[in-house]
Amino acid sequence: MGLPSDFSRHVKSAADIVRIIGEQVRLKKSGNNYLGLCPFHQEKTPSFSVHSARQFYYCFGCGAKGDVFQFVIATERLSFPEAVRRVAQLAGIPVPQEVPYGGASSPEARLRAALHEVHQRALEFYRKQLQSSEASPLREIIRNRGVTAETVEEFGLGFAPGKGSSLASFLLKEGFPEKVLEESGLLLRRDSGGFRDRFRNRWIFPIAAENGKVVAFAGRAIGQEQPKYLNSPETPLYSKSHLLYNLFRAREAIRNSDSAVLVEGYMDAIAVHQAGVQNVVASCGTSLTQRQVQKLSRYGREVVVNYDPDLAGKTATDRSVSILLEEEMSVRILRLEGNMDPDQFIQKKGGEAYRAHLAEAEPFFRYLAARVLETHGKSTPEAKVAGLNFVLPFVAKVPNKLIRAELVADIAQKIDVSPGIVWDTFREAAVARRESFQLPRAATRIPSAEAMLIRLLLDSEESRQEVVPVLRQKDLLSEFEAGTIVSALVGMIEGGSAPDMASLADRLEEAQQRLLAEIVFDREARPVNIDEVSTYILALERKRVQRERVSLQHRIQEAQKQSDGQLAMELLREQQHIDRRLAELLQ
């Protein structure tokens, strides 16, 4: 079931974004905007801005942005339909009768709804197969690894039969269209026709989105088959760089403790969860990504990294620490005794021992100091320089002066050099790191009239109808300093979409998003003046014609060098025409 297609637009236009955000963020009026401390990263100076009229928020510190729905999704951990209902509730808007997914408003929405149904039916199939006689060896493996029946049930663990088309036959009998089954990634087309199963003779781990709906699967080989783990491919439901395994179960525990335990594998996450540590997540068989960290940061600010102890795990730990620091997360490292991964450790030592080690996880800078010695040693001046260069990128990302100082002291002591020498090595990176971000007083990177034009196109339907045809007719979009923003804005208008700040920002790269926010939240912006904007458009047209004249002069000179008198005369006549146009524009 889903909501009517136009209901979200109605809710968004009726809701007061300042009041809704103000329930969670203490906002203070500043000109036409509202300022507060960002709820998505730690800061002391307000850099989080909310624009009431444009229904948009932007943080100049971390780049968080969006409309009222995106704020509720991020802070209350809801799906989009849930966020629409929540905002409607806060705004006192009755929620209408929901419509079946088959009546979804677009082909994309209908496909996603169908794929959700396919994955739910596949989950039921795999779970049932775990009780089959063929799965008897897997059930023995599960018992030997100490996974309880309750955990099997809670995590929806299952079995993919070895027969090549068991799931395919099941789903086809359920009546799903072949196009949907192919899009699901669970089946592969045979060259001879029909489908075969992607997962065969594998231990199945369902992968769920934050709303708890299964969007993909991972299959672990039961014997010696390769690869050891096989994941669903990217689909309209699933992007592995965006999801964290077990996050939907762990999110409340992470929020309550303000901390998450990050492990590598599915079984690591299951074992740690079963050991009583509810705030555990894994990175879904991929290296940790910035998107995953940003998603995790909505729930808590500390991460304990507990990756495998092998070389690949150490490399992954180093990379993860770098990304976590870049997102201003607090980081600790858990290294288990005996070179064991979390699953192995819990099997041998038990959950109580794991929780005790977890409580003693070391700050990341002590881990890095140990890694310097482990990787480079300190026996020669060259080794010490290599160690300093290893740590430098991490130091550059640390926002806190006290933590930087402790890191420097640890490194100096570990590699037996003077702290002053270490400070000199780190100084440029450390000094360059800003402690806070002040909201710009004005958008100065582009002409004020250009900023005014962008605000005019955002706010005035009458001006959009008047200005956009002129910009297109005179071919002026490439002349703007903020040409990417203006082109995206004009594209939305010509496509019949009312300019929406959140949708416009989503079409831009990060640097352009920031520039757009500076324009929109400029506290010293003057009222929009259509006459001034018209004058600016005229100046842009003169600029374009002048550039055409310069280009033409180069062509005339080239024709004269080649002794092509006829071409030179034609180009001179064209220059006269351009000169007349330029004279008219200068009047």
Q: What is the SS3 string spanning 296-311?
A: HHCCCCEEEECCCCCH
Do the domain assignments include residue 319?
Answer: yes
- Domain-terminating residue out of 305, 328, 360: 360
Query: Is 241 a domain residue?
Result: no
Q: Which of 302, 326, 360 is the last residue of a domain?
A: 360
Angle between helix 68-76 and helix 7-14 axes, rounded to 10 deg: 90
pLDDT at 1: 46
Q: Which of 101-115, 144-158, 567-581 has the highest mean pLDDT?
A: 144-158
- Report the predicted TM-score, pTM, of the whole model to 2 decimal places: 0.59
* Same-domain pairing of 557 and 454: no
Provide the pLDDT for residue 339: 83
* Position 556 confidence tier, pLDDT thresholds 50, 70, 90: confident
Q: Give the CATH number for residue 32.
A: 3.90.580.10
Q: Would you say residue 148 lies in a domain? A: yes
Please report whether residue 242 resides in a domain: no
What CATH number does residue 166 fall under?
Answer: 3.90.980.10
Residue bearing the bigger pLDDT, 360 or 52: 360
Spatial strand order in the sheet of 302-305: 280-282, 259-263, 302-305, 330-333, 362-363
Mean pLDDT of 543-566: 78
Please count the other Cβ atoms lying within 10 Å of the Cβ belonging to residue 515. Answer: 21
How many Å apart are CA 290 and CA 195, to the nearest integer?
36
Residue 236 within a domain: no
- Our CA dihedral for 526, 532, 536, 537, rounded to 10 degrees, sits at 120
Give 436-461 pLDDT, tens digit per residue.
333 344 444 677 777 888 888 887 77
Domain identity same for 312 and 375: no
Query: Are residues 571 and 546 part of one domain?
Result: yes
Residue 311, class by beta-carbon neighbours within 10 Å (0-12 exposed, 13-18 middle, 19+ buried)?
exposed
Please list, in sequence order, all residues whose beta carbon lies within 8 angstroms of the beta carbon of residue 221, skipping any fewer than 6 positions away: 201, 202, 203, 227, 228, 229, 230
- Looking only at the bridges linking them, the beta strands covering 202-208 and 158-160 are antiparallel
**31 lies in the same domain as 74:** yes
Instruction: Supply the range of the domain harboring residue 551.
Output: 536-586
Instruction: Tell me how far apart the alpha carbons of residues 156 and 410 are, in angstroms, rounded to a whole number.
Output: 45
Averaging pLDDT over each range in 23-37, 472-486, 570-584, which range is the top one?
A: 23-37
Q: Taking a C-beta distance cutoff of 8 angstroms, is the pair 130, 152 a contact?
A: yes
DSSP state of 472: H
DSSP for 21-34, please give it: HHTTS--EEETTEE
**What are all long-range contacts of 104-111, with beta carbons under 8 Å and residues at least 24 apart?**
104/2, 104/5, 105/5, 106/5, 108/236, 109/2, 111/180, 111/183, 111/236
Please tell me whether residues 144 and 210 are part of one structural domain: yes
287 shares its domain with 218 = no
378 and 460 in a single domain? The answer is no
* pLDDT tens per residue across span 263-278: 999 999 999 999 999 9
Instruction: Identify the band that residue 435 occupies on the pLDDT scale cut at 50, 70 and 90.
Output: very low
From 32, 56, 91, the end of a domain falls on: 91
Residue 82: inside a domain, yes or no?
Answer: yes
Name the nearest CA neighbour of 215 among 187, 235, 195, 188: 235
User: Which pLDDT band holds residue 22 (cuts at 50, 70, 90)?
Assistant: confident
Q: What is the largest CA-CA distance in the chain?
A: 93
Q: How far apart are CA 35 and CA 347, in angstroms?
A: 51
Give how many domains the chain has, as a whole number: 6
Contact (Cβ atoms closer than 8 angstroms) between residue 147 and residue 196: no
pLDDT at 85 over 80: yes
Flag whether pLDDT at 129 surpasses 90. yes
Place 49 in a pLDDT band, splitting at 50, 70 and 90.
very high
DSSP secondary structure string for all residues of 313-369: HHHHHHHHHHHHHHTT-EEEE---GGG--HHHHHHHH-HHHHHHHHHTPEEHHHHHH
State whether 292 and 353 are in the same domain. yes
* DSSP code for 16: -
Same-domain status, 427 and 472: no
**How far is residue 402's CA from residue 545's CA, in Å, rounded to a whole number?**
57
Q: What pLDDT sits at residue 86?
A: 85
Average pLDDT over every residue of 94-106: 58
Among the listed residues 527, 501, 520, 518, the one whose alpha carbon sits nearest the alpha carbon of residue 439: 518
Distance separating alpha carbons of residues 493 and 497, to the nearest angstrom: 5
Q: Is the pLDDT of residue 424 over 90?
A: no
- Measured CA to CA, the distance from residue 409 to residue 366 in angstroms comes to 10
- The whole-number average pLDDT for the span 417-434 is 60
Residue 490 shares a structural domain with residue 375: no
Cα separation of 369 and 373, whole Å? 7
Answer whether residue 98 is part of any domain: no
The secondary structure of residue 434, as a DSSP letter, is: -
pLDDT band at 173 (very low <50, low <70, confident <90, very high): very high
AA identity, residue 367: Y
Same-domain status, 513 and 497: yes
Task: Please check whether residues 116 and 132 belong to one and the same domain.
Answer: yes
CATH number at residue 314: 3.40.1360.10
547 within domain boundaries: yes
Copy the structure tokens of residue 403. Answer: 């933590």
Q: 303 or 581: whose pLDDT is higher?
A: 303
Give the pLDDT confidence score for residue 483 in this predicted structure: 80
